Structure 1
């Protein structure tokens, strides 16, 4: 272990780690508890008199072997006169105060004893008292527990805590030292760089070194994953940041990142890598209910956590979903919570966008890491649409009506608030229908106020009704309402209110049309950020919608492959909605003439599932050769279904044609190398379906001076085209062709958005 190492820890985290115990319990506890606790603290602190000092910052350096442990925190108050010194901690609770005993809440006692040790050591006090004051959140009731300790007793106690904490953290620091030593010897894990790969790696390293943000468009085949991870690790090796978060939109790209880290580890790198997988996917129970009564992995979770952490960190580096699940079963731990706890000690974290960006699920425990964390955002072209949904919220009249029917005979106060929202929406519906107005730039203040009042009533009811009839319905409504009120507070010129009315239903959406400000705010808190994708074209568009600024860096790298590896053909057929019926036969003829001519594996992508079925039905009515097989993407396929679909794409002597949807699970993030894929057909230009929300977005960007139609429809659509075509050439050995079927590819605007190597496509007549 390095000499003179300094490690900082808060008093709270120190004692929580050592004294951790108990179960996971996700039952509702209320959202304004912190607010109530603060008010209670302030009331009690204000009544203490002149001998009382509130909110006292305490810190000390505690030498432990070769490490100086910096312990610091803020105690609620210190009472001191000539006779006595008392360190006080104030805790709010909803429990009956008469039921409390001195043995309750060992973590609180540990916290106040550490404060007492720091203060008595600094003030040279031989004896000091500590006090825990428990106060009711919603009344003036309070109860005191006071103990007195000698300095010697406190010294022995704190020494025991520090030894136990450092027994664990010492191994973490050893791991960091091993990481730093192996980073010094780290080399690129392939014999050579591909064309353009070194340029991307250099741009990433420069970005991190200068605490900047980079927008990188790098063509498929560059090897973007290793070209971003490798220079990030080199930068960390030079003390430019301490952690990295690799954000992905899909499971497949998560696996590619794991494989890149695995390769580096096999080459000698010591690096702790944790993958976070959604709770619903990894839960061992049939139903996700994170309460000790229903889940043995939640019951006593914190009693077993330290043993689980020590075990996995001592034996594993790449902690994938499968590895985490194995250790979770071994130690009877919730795999999802275990992955979150592991992430606190990891060098690299692989997870979905929402764990960094989404206010509903964002990991607040990572907030302190932002300034030392490098953020890599894979397939960044997906982020704008994902973020729009993260920062939007909606409510439906039917929800309040149905919940009201359940609650009507259970709680009159709650029913009254539910009815008020339902009636408010009903009245508003009449006004809107009279005006024929369904899009508003202003937020609906009167509806927000009604929902906010209902959310407060939800809280009251849920606190006193932790289970039973109506609980699940009210809890779901509470979260919807809370989200609606939260978004309303953030509502600004980047939002519109969109109201959808159908028969008796009223659906209100506070729609975030432009999430760029929120993305900018979060990414600028990081040490550095890299947005990268093969299809960030036009780059200026993505810089705009992802919160780019003039001082950000950008780079565009063309395909590293030879021109002769790829042939691109075009076929003039109108696939516009009004021409769909007339387009079916020409498309079928093109599939037959192109994909039947040479045996191999092919994918044909369609802009919608409905269109796919129309063409597929017409195609299957033809008399097909014996050597031609077809498979078709189904709606809502499971991961197992997807694997079965892709397993059909193997080297073969016959012909396989897979029918799939643009923008779907097979159009992005899959690798079918070599003879697993020989050609791709793309029908249409991928424009999203025309909807009221898309049209509102179009007008929003039009008002800002951009081409609104391009921003709302053309660029997102053409991104799907580039992604689908990018499935084809994945390595230096791959060859194949792309067939583009749509007459818009022949216009300058659409042709210019295609990758450079596609733009001179060969026209196919007949």
Structure 2
């Protein structure tokens, strides 16, 4: 009997062994699947007596130490006095006259697997196959028939299993070596930092009990290794099988990679794959994933299997450069290749959106979620990111532009875009008559006509040859925009608000997610366990609420392991409220001159907005030159190279004073690691409150209606989180020391003082 048990669907078995073809541009959305189901049901309902539909078939095969269970649901079985046949039904948008018998070998292969199982289990020497192509546009269909002997099917299934099991052997060897290596793995550092063991235990306990943990772990604990190491140990004990490590920033993805590399260097056998955005890894000058424009998309599936075998045989750490190397070697799209390799990884490191965002989340990974531990790094970022991912908008101008492109070329699609355009005009009229531009109700008519456009364009985009039309890319872009809007409409409830913006002839409709907690909770509960962790999950009650926490979840608050005496915290009680901004400029410059110009070293000064930064800079720049201060300024738009050059200036052992002006919540306020003497002080101006906007006020109203302090939820807590993050740039290791300046009179109030990290609260008053 086979020692290694493998379960695979008929479709997955056939599609892996016989994979071929190119990355296709066709939309292939939910409407295609829905129409396909309806087409199947229509044909099946018209079959004669004795026809069995949707028949479940399963067979176990023992080969080379493997026990492989192949299972699936056959579309139909025809059984009468004239023949016994397997029926495989495929819906299509192609004209039936253009379809030939051998167009799709995988369709025949799926039917042949079902035919083998049915023939074997019923001792048949011969069986027929009917491959039916049914039109989605009408009731027409075309059927191709073949007859196969038991011997022919025997040879076919043997070849199929041999190819499949060669690949399974690669995966099994990796898994066996992984499980053998984990028990011997020790913690990769000679001693634990203060609080680190507590975090390790909390993570392990959470996984063991299949729960969720919210962990506030101060900078310096070693959050990354403290979450990864116990999760790996849990995998070794078969409490889970995979790790999905999601984060918001490139720098934190790199830290996670380094943690896995360290464990691998200590003897762990573990395959880690990092997903890099398509725009960053694309080999072409322009991202255009059609086989006509990209040689790496053309024939992708013809070459994928060999690429997978090669990289999975030779690599454990599959980060960007490794993906690019093998992708070039096998002429594969690097982005799609990374996603396909990730299916066979022990850990995947990626952005939040690959798990949460309905637009881009990887459905191909979903079957693994129940055995996956989800590690959410810098979880404080997930609140705003989730709001963005679960919100969507469409605009009148996009449909007006599309209708102009389509006029006289595609009458049916033209009428669909006109209908959506008309719905915008009707909604605009209703809003102006009521003088109300945000409301709780879903704009049903706009959604309905948008879905009609989506359904028709989905079908049109899937027709081979339509990509040659000069308006194809414009319609495809609009399709994805509308698809996102319609997907959000499916989850719309009292946690959303519809916001209509009218600007002259333009009308925009936005489905605004006010509170993503329900959707985050729903997504994370599909995993084995979820760990939310950050140095700034404070206050924990707020984050528990907005991230979908429940009373049964675990919570851990681990204080800083570093000596508080190594940081001087100073507060200058200057009002930085918007109404006092102009008066505050000279006072802030005075503080900078008195407190920084007389010191030696590197300092970062964070402003609540770029506008405020510019106002102070206008008066300070000449003073900095006169006082021989090296001044660096964050630009509103900076390339990665420019960011690196900015940070590169912060070198240790500075002989003078170097000051960097930056923005709270920006690229230098989080995920920046300037250890030792590279950073000697941080100055934070203001309390970080977001700019007062219509949307932010709607969020405030929502939480107030729920019984919370809406202003705190919409403004205070998000603002103070930015303050925590900026201050956290200073102390990164036990050797670090320096000064934190807080400039705002609100820090003197009990409310804001209590929102500071505990080690900052005994500050000294300046001025």
Three-state SS of the structure 1 residue aligned to 2:467 is coil
Q: Hey, what does 1:600 align to over in structure 2?
A: 601
Q: Hey, what does 1:230 align to over in structure 2?
A: 229
Q: Distance in 1 between matches of 2:455 and 2:141?
A: 25
Give the CA deviation at 1:460.
5.5
- Are 1:641 and 2:642 matched, yes or no? yes
Q: Hey, what does 1:519 align to over in structure 2?
A: 520
Q: Distance in 2 between matches of 1:621 and 1:505?
A: 44
Q: Hey, what does 2:488 align to over in structure 1?
A: 487
Q: Distance in 1 between matches of 2:346 and 2:683?
A: 42
Q: Hey, what does 2:726 align to over in structure 1?
A: 724
Alignment of 1:374-453 (within 5 A): 374-453=373-452
Q: Distance in 2 between matches of 1:245 and 1:421?
A: 40
Q: Hey, what does 1:68 align to over in structure 2?
A: 67
Normalised by the length of structure 1, the TM-score is 0.97
Change (3 A) 1:460 1:29: same
Q: Hey, what does 1:505 align to over in structure 2?
A: 506
1:679-718 per-position Cα deviation (integer Å, ceiling 9, x unaligned): 1010101110000001000000000000000000000010
The farther-off stretch of 443-452 and 714-723 is 443-452
Provide the aligned length of Structure 1 versus Structure 2: 764
Give the CA deviation at 1:457.
4.4
List structure 1 segments (4+ residues) > 6 angstroms apart after TM superposition: none
The farther-off stretch of 503-512 and 232-241 is 503-512
Three-state SS of the structure 2 residue aligned to 1:466 is helix
Q: Distance in 1 between matches of 2:182 and 2:660?
A: 44
Give the CA deviation at 1:630.
1.2
Three-state SS of the structure 2 residue aligned to 1:184 is coil
Give the CA deviation at 1:270.
0.5
Q: Hey, what does 1:656 align to over in structure 2?
A: 658
CA contact under 8 A between 1:27 and 1:291: conserved in structure 2?
no
Three-state SS of the structure 2 residue aligned to 1:622 is helix
Give the CA deviation at 1:522.
0.8
Give the CA deviation at 1:149.
2.1
- Are 1:258 and 2:257 matched, yes or no? yes
CA contact under 8 A between 1:28 and 1:466: conserved in structure 2?
no
CA contact under 8 A between 1:129 and 1:146: conserved in structure 2?
yes
Alignment of 1:32-181 (within 5 A): 32-181=31-180
- Are 1:690 and 2:692 matched, yes or no? yes
Q: Hey, what does 1:744 align to over in structure 2?
A: 746
Give the CA deviation at 1:446.
2.7
Alignment of 1:3-42 (within 5 A): 4-29=3-28, 31-42=30-41
Alignment of 1:566-605 (within 5 A): 566-605=567-606
Q: CA RMSD in A?
A: 1.7
Give the CA deviation at 1:98.
3.3
Q: Hey, what does 2:561 align to over in structure 1?
A: 560
Q: Which runs of 5+ in 1 are unaligned?
A: none
Give the CA deviation at 1:606.
0.7
Q: Distance in 2 between matches of 1:204 and 1:463?
A: 46
Q: Hey, what does 1:529 align to over in structure 2?
A: 530
Give the CA deviation at 1:3.
6.7
Three-state SS of the structure 2 residue aligned to 1:486 is helix
CA contact under 8 A between 2:682 and 2:727: conserved in structure 1?
yes
Q: Hey, what does 2:667 align to over in structure 1?
A: 665
Three-state SS of the structure 2 residue aligned to 1:55 is strand
Q: Hey, what does 1:342 align to over in structure 2?
A: 341
Q: Distance in 2 between matches of 1:601 and 1:453?
A: 59
Give the CA deviation at 1:641.
1.7
The farther-off stretch of 450-459 and 262-271 is 450-459
Change (3 A) 1:68 1:246: same
Change (3 A) 1:169 1:193: same
Normalised by the length of structure 2, the TM-score is 0.97
Give the CA deviation at 1:501.
2.2
Q: Hey, what does 2:206 align to over in structure 1?
A: 207
CA contact under 8 A between 2:203 and 2:213: conserved in structure 1?
yes
Give the CA deviation at 1:422.
3.0
Q: Distance in 2 between matches of 1:457 and 1:135?
A: 18
1:622-667 per-position Cα deviation (integer Å, ceiling 9, x unaligned): 1545652111111221222211111111112222111111101111
Q: Distance in 2 between matches of 1:103 and 1:430?
A: 55
Q: Hey, what does 1:372 align to over in structure 2?
A: 371
CA contact under 8 A between 2:57 and 2:114: conserved in structure 1?
yes
Give the CA deviation at 1:405.
2.9
Give the CA deviation at 1:381.
0.6
Three-state SS of the structure 1 residue aligned to 2:623 is coil
Q: Distance in 2 between matches of 1:99 and 1:623?
A: 74
Q: Hey, what does 1:679 align to over in structure 2?
A: 681
Q: Distance in 2 between matches of 1:200 and 1:77?
A: 54
Give the CA deviation at 1:44.
1.3
CA contact under 8 A between 2:31 and 2:455: conserved in structure 1?
no
Three-state SS of the structure 2 residue aligned to 1:170 is helix
Three-state SS of the structure 2 residue aligned to 1:732 is coil
Give the CA deviation at 1:126.
2.1
Give the CA deviation at 1:56.
1.0
Change (3 A) 1:422 1:142: closer
